[in-house]
Structure 1
Amino acid sequence: MKGTLRVSDVVHLGDIVAMDYDLPEALGRQLDISSLPGIGMLDEALSIREIKAEDLLDEGTTPRQLHVVYQVFKSVKTPEALIIPSLHFRFKGDPPQEFDTTTRTLTIEPLIPAETLLEQLDIRAPHPPHPIDTQTALDRLIQWLGAFGAALLLLLLRHWRHLKRTRPFEAIRRRCAKALTLRHQRQGLETAVRLIHRALNQTYGHTLFEKDLPHFFEDQSRFSSEKASLRDFFILSDAVFFDPAFDEHHYPEASHLLKRLLEGLIKAERGQKG
């Protein structure tokens, strides 16, 4: 069974060789794919890279065609004959019919012709590796890190502003803690009380007075657990700013009350139960 060669009769190491074998439909049998050779080395000179049966329309007839792709793996110093061996396969049936393709002879030539003199070969000295401009890469890295840092700073700023708007008690936590550690305790207490008043006003929507607490708890039910503490806070606020009898003996208790109140307000602000 003859095959059609799709490339030149002269090949070299590494070349791809495609062959098409026509299989007449008149046989009336189905090709047994399992009888075909597998992908891989065929012999010491050739390997099979692809093998498949194809249907082709040709002037009203429908022949089957076996398409085989080989690759040359043989290196030679002088031209030699390269034989594409016969492939054995069969058609299903009872009994099955077996066939062989015809062999095909090609010429394999060396990649460098034998008559080429060594002096004719352009053998160049190895080139040293090209130096890499690391400064450009470093500049780009610095620019990227700068842009990343600016973006991160912007995100943190937005997050801080968001917390300041939505969690005013969380926003004053550090300033209150710092104020309550001041050496001048009276000044620290006044600062902490003002900060808590400001956070309460922001949460309420406008200035919150003691008489407004029932409405505040109705509107902001998450702070209901701090009813007693907030009433004590307003009493303490009046004492800090207006009671002449409020002196340094009251500072420790007042500081403890403010810390405990702020902790409870922060938990309530987060939706946590005390």
Structure 2
Amino acid sequence: MRILLILILLLPGCSGSINTPVSYFNVETPRPFGYVIGDEIPQRIIIETRSGISLQASSLPAKGQINRWLNLNQVTIKQSGQRYQIDLRYQVFYAPPTVKALTLPGFTVQFNQGENKPEEKMLSQSIPAWSFTLSPLRELVVRQTEQGEYLRPDSPPQLLENTQAWYGLSASLTVTVLTAAYLSFLYGFFPKLLRRTLFKQALRKLAGLSKTDMEQVLSIVHYALNTLNGQPLFYNQLSDFYQRNPQYRQISAKLEWFFNYSNRYFFSAGMITVTPDLQQIKDLCEQCRKIERGSL
């Protein structure tokens, strides 16, 4: 009898525990002060239910206008097992003349339990109302100065990140320069510039050659003269060359010697090259370099 009496006394407590749908409940709210018209206020509700209990999403407040000064802009539900995270985002549109206390309205969340009869399976959890203070955008009594109304300056805007803009500008400038260089090359602008350094390059190539490299020496000087002339230059074309490049007429004797020497070297058998011949060719190239620089 004593054991039966203890079991009877424990039954109401067990029954209440079973009918409690929520094992954990918490409402997370931000600071309750410092809001002005147009501000958004987030609210997070954490609910953990017993096994077999599920949240009824339709019991949550619907997005839209709550009252004349309050809107519900966002309702988000994240579920992980029996844990529900409900994020609400309110927005206030009240313009108080002074600091005013307002309240986010409470509501009731409902749950489904098993497959019992409809009138038996509906369980609920109350979400309490939450109070906060709203401040006016400007003072009720505006301060005055001798020059007129006193206004505080606007806070400076946050500067936008411009790294990508600089990258885009740099890339555009690079493409523009490369395009201009390519067009200049196609229209023959660069060859005109290279003509000012033809014999400079030739002298650099001749510096390391000896009389045993006479074929290469002659080819280097011929290449420079051909490039300057715009086409292959031969001995019988020197008069036309002087008409197009009159500044080279002053070394005509050395140019004529060079072409005669080249003809003998390439078309005569058994010609012996000596060091003075190499030096004379280098002297000719030096004279041409001075002419292209404008110093002769």
TM-score by length of 2: 0.38
| Structure 1 or 2: more strand by fraction | 2
Larger Rg, first or second structure (1 or 2)? 2
